[in-house]
Amino acid sequence: MDKTFNNRAWFLVLPVLVIVAFSAVIPLMTVVNYSVQDTFGNNQFFWAGTDWFTDILTSARFHDALIRNLIFSGIILAIEIPLGILVALAMPKKGVWVSVCLVLMALPLLIPWNVVGTIWQVFARTDIGLLGATVAGLGIDYNYVQDPLDAWITVVVMDVWHWTSLVALLCYAGLVSIPDAYYQAAKIDGASRLAVFRYIQLPKMGRVLLIAVLLRFMDSFMIYTEPFVVTGGGPGNSTTFLSIDLVKMAVGQFDLGPAAAMSLIYFLIILLLSWVFYTVMTNVGADKAPRTGGEA
Amino acid sequence: MSEATFDHTGSRAAPDARQAEHDRLPASGRSASAMRARERARNPRFKAKALIPILYILFLLLPIYWLVNMSFKTNQEILSGFSLIPAEPTLRNYQVIFGDPSWYMGYVNSIIYVVLNMVISVSVALPAAYAFSRYRFLGDKHLFFWLLTNRMAPPAVFALPFFQLYSAFGLIDTHIAVALAHCLFNVPLAVWILEGFMSGVPKEIDETAYIDGYSFPKFFFKIFMPLIASGIGVAAFFCFMFSWVELLIARTLTVTEAKPIAAIMTRTVSASGLDWGVLAAAGALTIVPGAIVIWFVRNYIAKGFALGRV
């Protein structure tokens, strides 16, 4: 669509600007302020320069949390993306069952995040939880409170439970936009099921899949509430991801300087990822316009 | 198969069926459905395929079922035995919640700030989304990107500064504080979703209205908003949802008066850690609002999560 150039459009954007400035820019400036100062209490601050940043960037604690978080995001993507595609492919295309599937699948997405944590905390307990008791009943030594590996498995399965539907729903939206004629052509060509997937469905899902990957990566990169409720970051520090570590530092220990510096580093990583996301998103919009135009 | 269908496909498709399919001059609806019926008859995997969504949905429902199951049990039964359905179903847990203001006010608080946030987000996002979808202006792309970074910002980064900012304004423990804080991610979300819907409305409609002498506000409220009504609904739903599920910021900004139900639940876990039945009932009740509204937006869920871009 050709847009007219008109700077008065700024007036329409102004309310958003004011509100987001109040809830984003001012807090962020506070963070910047803390990140370059140190205090001995009593609200007396003095200049600390880039000390906190060097501290954080060289601290083993930050590295560990970052690596843990990257591994977590990697595992999450490796499970949720293929599973989501599989479910989307197997979903019915027409009829009442579509609505039933959509609604039931979306259910976990709408549960408050700490309730998700509570559900799994209870579900995985060996004494009163269905999952925990079943696993223990099979003779497997399972205890997510004490064993780091079990804690990881629990957190990963919980995230798969919580967010795979997002991938499935996005892929499904991509799949139903493929016109029937493509499948008919493939049938006439005698294409195998695999070829249909590889040459028709996968390319058509490509864009939504990219969005799904980016969304899942970012959200798992800033996960806080669910693992915090289930494991509290433990046992030890084994499930302490970046956000959990940050809140521990800022609110728990009240180390404002290091916490602020860590916030900014964290935010810069997110900013970089957002830029990738933005490029993808705007290209999706750009590609879509001529395509729908051609169909009309 | 009827003769008409036969003629239709026969006359055109026989020499170069592939070409015809590629042009997407469709085989008539009847022959397409016939084709599918034949495929179903021939394809024995059809049943096996249905197993995947069924198993997946079972996997999704099992933990929820366990929570609901627990909410109807007495604490003794929860701790002592192990039963798939409550042996002696009780409503006590729900009575505790609905009989105690410190519990049920949590739901009221949550709903107040969620609705406040929804109204603020959608009403400021509407004009902005219109500007982004219709005009180019100085810095528009940067601004759009900056909004997105706020949607992607980790709430953990903002928890402490929010607390200090709202303390300075004396807004701690008020509903409006949480509503404003949630604007951080919901306003960008609403702008992106609405922009996606608005870009689907042809610009000629605007131009025709202006030529017909409509002023901008009159055009916007009388003509444009009804056209994107579904978009407004979807944006409102997603604001509702993300404000409803968020806890970290809501908990940081509230003490007692505006405390959300989600935070009241965590307090009970750490303090007593005993009343599993009430905890389960409280959790089960938080699922209800989402489960009710989801039916209305089921076809737009993917679009909303992808920020209006599917």
Per-residue pLDDT tens for A177-234?
888 899 899 989 888 888 988 888 888 888 888 888 888 988 899 898 889 888 888 7
- Give per-residue pLDDT as tens, A272-288: 888 888 888 777 655 55
Answer whether residue A90 shows pLDDT above 50.
Answer: yes
Does A272 reach chain B within 8 Å, measured CB to CB?
Answer: no
Contacts of A4 in chain B (CB under 8 A): 134-136
pLDDT score of B218: 92
Spatial distance between the Cα atoms of B157 and B211, rounded to a whole number of angstroms: 49
Nearest to A110 among B148, B294, B302 (CB): B294
pLDDT score of A165: 92
Q: Which two tokens stand for residue B73?
A: 């049990």
Q: How confident is the model at residue A290 (pLDDT cuts 50, 70, 90)?
A: very low
Spatial distance between the Cα atoms of B127 and B138, rounded to a whole number of angstroms: 17
Distance between the two ends of chain A, CA-based, in angstroms? 15
Three-state SS across B273-309? Answer: CCCHHHHHHHHHHHHHHHHHHHHHHHHHHHHHHCCCC
Answer whether residue A31 shows pLDDT above 60.
Answer: yes
Q: Which two tokens stand for residue B288?
A: 């209800």
- Give per-residue pLDDT as tens, A48-85: 778 888 888 888 888 999 999 999 999 999 999 999 99
Does B34 reach chain A within 8 Å, measured CB to CB?
Answer: no
* Domain residue spans of chain A: 61-254
Angle between helices B276-294 and A113-123 (to 10 degrees): 130
Q: Whole-model pTM?
A: 0.82
Most A CBs within 10 A among B160, B264, B307, hence the mutation to make, goes to B160
pLDDT score of B155: 85
pLDDT score of B295: 84
pLDDT score of B24: 46
Domains of chain B: 1-43 (no CATH), 44-90 (no CATH), 98-305 (1.10.3720.10)
Report the complex ipTM: 0.84
CB contact (8 A) between residue A103 and residue B162:
no
Q: Which two tokens stand for residue A232?
A: 């509290």
Minimum Cα–Cα distance from A220: chain B residue: B154
pLDDT score of B17: 44
Distance between the two ends of chain B, CA-based, in angstroms? 37
Q: 3-class DSSP state for residue A34?
A: helix
Superfamily of domain A61-254: MetI-like (1.10.3720.10)
CB contact (8 A) between residue B149 and residue A130:
no
pLDDT score of A30: 84
Which regions in chain B score pLDDT beneath 70? 1-47, 81, 266-274, 310
pLDDT score of A114: 86
Q: How many CB pairs under 8 A join A and B?
A: 307
Going by C-alpha positions, the residue among B150, B132, B149, B152 that lies closest to residue B140 is: B132
Contacts of B128 in chain A (CB under 8 A): 12-13, 15-16
pLDDT score of B57: 93
CB contact (8 A) between residue B67 and residue A119:
yes
pLDDT score of B141: 87
Answer whether residue A295 shows pLDDT above 60.
Answer: no
pLDDT score of A72: 94
B211-233 as b/e: b if 16+ CB within 10 A: eeebeeeebbeebbeeebeebbb
Is B52 exposed, middle or buried (CB count within 10 Å of its CB: 0-12, 13-18, 19+)? Answer: middle
